[in-house]
Amino acid sequence: MPIKWSGIKVNKAMDEVEQQLDLAESFLAQAEAKAREATRIAKLPDYMDQRLGRLIFTIKRRDDMKAAVKSVRETIPDGAIEAEQESLKHGSQQSLV
> Domain count of the chain?
1
What pTM does this model have?
0.73
In this structure, is residue 65 part of a structural domain? yes
88 domain-assigned = no
pLDDT in tens, 8-52: 999 999 999 999 999 999 999 999 999 999 999 999 999 999 999
Percentage of the chain surpassing pLDDT 90? 73
Instruction: Indicate whether 93 belongs to any domain.
Output: no
Using the CB atoms, write b or e for 55-73: b if 16+ within 10 Å.
bbeebeebeeeeeebeeee
In a domain, 92, yes or no: no
Per the structure, the complete domain to which residue 73 belongs is given by: 7-83
Nearest to 70 by CA among 14, 9, 20: 14
Residue 66 domain-assigned (yes or no): yes
- For the segment 40-54, what is each residue's pLDDT rounded down to a tens digit? 999 999 999 999 999
